Amino acid sequence: MSALLTGIGTRIAERWLQTVVLAGLLWVATAVVAVRLGHSHPFDVGRLSAWLDQVARERAGRSASAVLLTVAGALLAAGAAGLATGALGGAFQRLWGASGAGPPGSWIQRWRLDRRRRRDERTRRAVARSVTHRGRGGRLLLAHAGRAADRRRRTPRPTGPTRIGDTFLGVASRVERRYGLELERAWPRLWALLPEAPRADVSGARQAYDAAARLAGWALLYTALAVVWWPGAAIGTSVLATAVVRARDAAELLATTVESAVDLHLTDLAGSLGVRADEDASALARGRAIARHLAERDGPGDP
């Protein structure tokens, strides 16, 4: 047991060092550069080099304790920044997964629906123009309009304020439509039954999604540096764009792995809960039987 706890503690420490301290030290270094250069000299490398030389000369005659205190302060600042990004990442996850039941989510959803209608209308007009044109130009217009129409058909209709929310709401809707089962209620029981391989797939997808959310938190911290150093806004914007792209990919992977787990292990869940169903019962009938069992056990008002 002691060896197990030691191994777990080592892995936690390594993960904390990689995801929090190193990224935090990079942000602390950027913050120091931002404060020293300011808006007036945002890329003056010579000014920064001269300041570093001055700091090195001043610190050379000081005791080792002063150096250790400086290092400890930098590590504490990095850890604090990492904790802040964790909290900001959680806020981003709540924002991305919002259902749009009330403002401002409903306003954003309405704006997305209006934008989709406008794009669909432009696509229809492009198809109509391509049909009326003859020759090579008309064929190119028709091909371009056809590709745009295919992309629109593959893109699901907005059901929430964000595309990530559409992904999560979509998998919950498909599970309910296919099995008559509320995913939020059934998932904790199903997760306890999953074998090691699908559990690892779901965990890996969730870790990637969490990492993307933390990266979005770092983007806000870098953007905050724009108060004293305007390039911080450009850095924060690029980091946020990268975080959103990664979050969308991770959300797609997470939704796919969760849906696959439901498809492959629904029978195991029914057996574990003691829900009896005929051998030739459809998946929908089995799922509805599980839903009734969970409703009777938890009560209709419980999540």
pLDDT higher than 60, residue 152: no
Q: Can you tell me the mean pLDDT for 291-295?
A: 87
Alpha helices (runs of H) in the chain, residue ranges in sequence order: 2-16, 22-37, 45-60, 64-96, 105-132, 135-154, 163-179, 183-193, 196-224, 231-273, 283-298
Which H, E and C letters describe 229-275, residue by residue?
CCHHHHHHHHHHHHHHHHHHHHHHHHHHHHHHHHHHHHHHHHHHHCC
User: Looking at residue 160, what DSSP letter applies?
Assistant: S
Answer for the pair 77, 221: CB distance below 8 angstroms, yes or no.
no
Read off the pLDDT of residues 37-88 as tens digits, 9 standing for 90 and up: 888 888 888 888 888 777 777 665 566 777 788 888 888 898 889 889 989 9
Cα separation, 51 vs 33, in Å, equals 10
Q: Given this model, what pLDDT does residue 40 score?
A: 85
Helix axes 231-273, 163-179, angle to 10 degrees: 10
Coil, strand or helix: which one is 83?
helix
pLDDT at residue 141, as a whole number: 56
Please state the rounded mean pLDDT for residues 207-233. 94
**Stretch among 7-11, 171-175, 233-237 having the lowest mean pLDDT:** 7-11
Given this model, what pLDDT does residue 232 score? 94
The pLDDT of 29-42, averaged and rounded, is 89
Task: Please say if the pLDDT value at position 89 is more than 90.
Answer: yes
Q: Backbone phi, then psi, for 4, in 5-degree steps?
A: -65, -45
The pLDDT, as a whole number, for residue 54 is 79
CA dihedral 235, 239, 244, 247 (to 10 degrees): -170
Phi then psi dihedrals of residue 97, to 5 deg: -95, 10
Report pLDDT digits (tens) over 126-145.
666 655 655 445 555 555 55
d(CA 234, CA 232): 5
Of 104, 141, 110, which Cα lies nearest the Cα of 126? 141
Position 70 scores a pLDDT of 80
* Secondary structure class of 162 (helix, strand, coil): coil
Q: Where is average pLDDT lowest: 8-12, 51-55, 156-160, 187-191?
A: 8-12
Q: Which residue has the tokens 């792995």?
A: 257
pLDDT one-digit tens code per residue, 96-125: 888 766 666 667 777 777 777 777 677 666
Angle (CA) 109-146-124 rounded to 5° is 55
The rounded distance, in Å, linking the Cα atoms of 60 and 203 is 48
pLDDT-based confidence at 242, cuts 50/70/90?
A: very high
Checking if the pLDDT of 187 tops 60, the result is yes
Residue found under tokens 């300011």: 38
Nearest Cα to Cα of residue 288 among 200, 176, 201, 184: 176
Q: How far apart are CA 81 and CA 27, in angstroms?
A: 8
Q: Tens of pLDDT along 195-216?
A: 999 999 999 999 999 999 999 9
Whole-angstrom distance, CA of residue 180 vs CA of residue 189: 16
pTM over 0.75: yes
Which of 226, 218, 98 minimizes the C-alpha distance to 162? 98
Q: Measured on CA atoms in the order 255, 257, 261, 263, is the torsion positive or negative?
A: positive
Task: Please tell me the predicted confidence (pLDDT) of residue 222.
Answer: 96
Q: What percent of the chain has pLDDT over 90?
A: 35
pLDDT tens by residue, 249-274: 999 999 999 999 999 998 888 888 88
Higher pLDDT, 212 or 11: 212
- pLDDT-derived band at 275 (thresholds 50, 70, 90) equals confident
Mean pLDDT of the chain: 80
